[in-house]
Amino acid sequence: MAMQGGTALQEKVSRMLSRKHKKPVLKPNKPLVLKDEVANRKIKKGEATCVTEMSMMMACWKQNNFVDTLCSNEMQSFYTCVEKAQIAVKNKSEQHTIGQSGRLQPKQATILLKRYPNLHVEI
Amino acid sequence: MAASLTGLLKPWTPRVLLVRWSRYNPYYLEPEPRKEVYHIPETELTPEQKEERELKSVRPIKAATNSVTSSVFNDPVLSKFVNMMMKDGDKIIAKGIITQTLENMKRKQVEKYHKAPEGKKAEIECNPYAIFHQALENCKPVIGLASIQKGGKFYQVPIPLTDNRRRFLAMKWMITECRDNKHRRTLMYEKLSQELLAAFSKEGNVVKRKHELHKMAESNRAYAHYRWW
């Protein structure tokens, strides 16, 4: 079934390249060969974390003329928020690498393709 | 003369040989140099600690570096500071400077202690290690700035820093300030002790530099949303 699909594709490509009927649809300057790698997916841009804590701390600084001892509560809450955000990022990336939901990650697909690369030299 | 010539005929091996490389299989675990961890009796271990012990009994462990000891005087923060001060791999000179700095700080504090009135004596801190750690804590910035590009222009965005980065910045500022902004004829240990004592009481140029960073971050707080992490 894969072979039939393969030959159908090759026939279509040869029809698109041919000059018999009209102008050719494809005019490739490089050979029509797939690469041994998959492009990396752009991860969604997140938002800035801990902005509220940061702004509270900065307001406290502005009030107290940047003396640190008077703002220790806000600073502590900022630190805890930052720690939580780091743990969340780690968990999210871990979850992405482990749970793919039926699909390979682009990096894993690349590794697999590199193991069985396209032959460019006749053996 | 014959003895020295025969000495030169032997193949030269260094007296201290490196056992640990820096690249290990990730399977290897880090060594635990502190003695207190091994003195906890079996009954007082938490389940995680018991699991860790069992894991360590089956997994291979990396060799400890030369700079790590199990003695009471081993301080990882101080070792990091010594390494940052070191030039051209000359650890002996760097360690000597730090020892002289600590001694100098102790002398100054003890002098202050003896000159102080009875009521104020308890407040003066004489332990140079405590002074060093407190001074470094006072120099650590809370927030840093990152150069982020948005719409063709670069903005200085306030970002939270990791603990390692904050410690590194505090040490770096301390060392550069002592190297550059002091009188030419004073020795490094004198400059360092002056600056550390000033930082301990929250004065001096390093603490000023930290405050200026905070002020810059505060003035740029509108750009905080340009961060995406």
Domain residue extents for chain A: 1-33, 38-122
Q: Between A21 and B201, where is the model more confident?
A: B201
- The enclosing H or E element of B199 equals helix B188-200
- CATH 1.10.455.10 in chain B: give the residue spans: 76-226
Is there a contact between B220 and B145 (Cβ–Cβ < 8 Å)?
yes
User: Does position B38 have pLDDT exceeding 90, yes or no?
Assistant: no
Tokens for B192, please give them: 């360092």
**Which contiguous run of DSSP H or E holds residue B134?**
helix B128-139
Considering only the C-alpha atoms of chain B, give the largest distance between any 2 of them, rounded to a whole number of Å. 78
Residue with tokens 């675990």: B29
Please give the interface size between A and B, counted as residue pairs whose CB atoms are below 8 Å apart. 44
Q: How far apart are CA B71 and CA A106, in angstroms?
A: 48
Residues of A in contact with B218 (CB under 8 A): 58, 61-62, 66
d(CA B191, CA B175): 10
Partner A, chain B 209-228, Cβ-Cβ below 8 Å: 211, 214-215, 217-218, 221, 224-228
Rg (CA), chain B: 24
Q: For domain B76-226, which CATH number applies: 3.10.450.50, 3.10.50.40, 1.10.455.10, 3.40.718.10?
A: 1.10.455.10
CB of A21 within 8 Å of a chain B CB? The answer is no
Greatest extent of chain A over all pairs of C-alpha atoms, in Å? 84
What is the average pLDDT value for chain A, to the nearest integer?
Answer: 86
**B228, A45: Cβ pair inside 8 Å?**
yes
Q: Can you give the pLDDT at residue A45?
A: 75
pLDDT in tens, B195-215: 999 999 999 999 999 999 999
Do the Cβ atoms of B102 and B128 come closer than 8 Å? yes
Backbone angles phi, psi at B21, to 5 degrees: -95, 175
B141 and B213 in contact (C-beta within 8 Å)? yes
Whether B221 and A55 lie within 8 Å, measured CB to CB: yes
Contact A46/B214, CB-based, under 8 Å? no
